[in-house]
Amino acid sequence: MHNFTHGDKTVSFTVLSGEVVSSEKISETRVTSTGGVQVNGNDGDVTPVRISSVSIINHEIWVKTPDGIEHDVKLRGMDIPLRTGQEISLISALKKDGSPLHTILQNHTASKRWVLRDASALNTELELSPFNWKTVLIVLGLCIAGLVTAGLGFLAAAGYFFYAWYRGAQRKKLLIRDLNAYIETLDNRVASREQAPSPVQAESSDQAEISFQAESPAPTLSPAETESPALNSDSVRRALSRNL
């Protein structure tokens, strides 16, 4: 669980990483029609009929995490190419009822990334910047006071309304900026963690280095120089006798 905090607002994020064991897409078609209504009550005068259809793709994915548990993920209105065996990570924001709002999907096997929701969409769906009804009440109060103060209250109401609107727009802008930066940081952290070498790979490299060092031939020592025999009187006498 990863938490983003901005003032009194907190958003929790989850990261689901694992292997795709199933990927199925179902197309849903919605047909609507308009027209076909009588004009001026005459049977012969009928507005033209217009029929339109919209196709929505529902993508269902089963992801198996390293602990062996399979998780069902539903993506509505999103056509993302995935196949069985690929490693993915899904970053999601949680609503108050615990239901996920899928934000970013990373396909580590294919080195691809999809932004499903940005910070602006999360701000709207999570209602992080709700309408301030307190401002409306204050403006109404100033307008009522304007009836007594010969219009001064109306000027005060207009000034306060634009001031409150500007402050609210600035707070919303800062919140979206900080939320975007947090999502990007979390996205980079998940991507770098998946690209880091596993302990098994690191251990294999060490073993290969150790075996290479063990098989290296030991340095050969240079042979010791033989000492020349020392000359004495017996050896000189034998040499002279051989010459004679």
| Mean pLDDT rounded to a whole number for the chain | 75
What is the reported pLDDT for 119? 93
What is the reported pLDDT for 171? 86
> Do 45 and 39 meet the contact criterion of CB atoms below 8 Å apart?
yes
Range 197-203 average pLDDT: 38
What is the reported pLDDT for 32? 79
Confidence at 8, pLDDT banded by 50, 70, 90: confident
Q: Which residues contact 135 (CB under 8 A, 6 or more apart)?
A: 160, 161, 164, 165, 168
Instruction: Dump pLDDT digits (tens) for 111-121.
Output: 999 999 999 99
What is the reported pLDDT for 215? 41
Instruction: Dump pLDDT digits (tens) for 33-77.
Output: 776 666 666 566 667 778 877 778 888 999 999 999 999 999 988
Is residue 28 packed enough to be buried (19+ CB in 10 Å), middle (13-18) or exposed (0-12)? exposed
Q: Which residues contact 189 (CB under 8 A, 6 or more apart)?
A: none
CA atoms within 13 A on the CB side of 125: 18
Instruction: Considering only residues 157 and 200, tell me which one the structure prediction assigns the higher pLDDT.
Output: 157
CA atoms within 13 A on the CB side of 22: 9
Q: What residues does each domain of the chain span? A: 2-27+56-191
Instruction: Considering only residues 185 and 210, tell me which one the structure prediction assigns the higher pLDDT.
Output: 185
User: Alpha-carbon distance 193 to 189, whole Å?
Assistant: 6
Q: What is the CATH number of domain 2-27+56-191?
A: 2.40.50.140
Confidence at 236, pLDDT banded by 50, 70, 90: very low
What is the reported pLDDT for 217? 46
26-30, 68-72, 74-78, 141-145: range with lowest mean pLDDT: 141-145
What is the reported pLDDT for 133? 60
> Do 9 and 175 meet the contact criterion of CB atoms below 8 Å apart?
yes
pTM (predicted TM-score)? 0.63
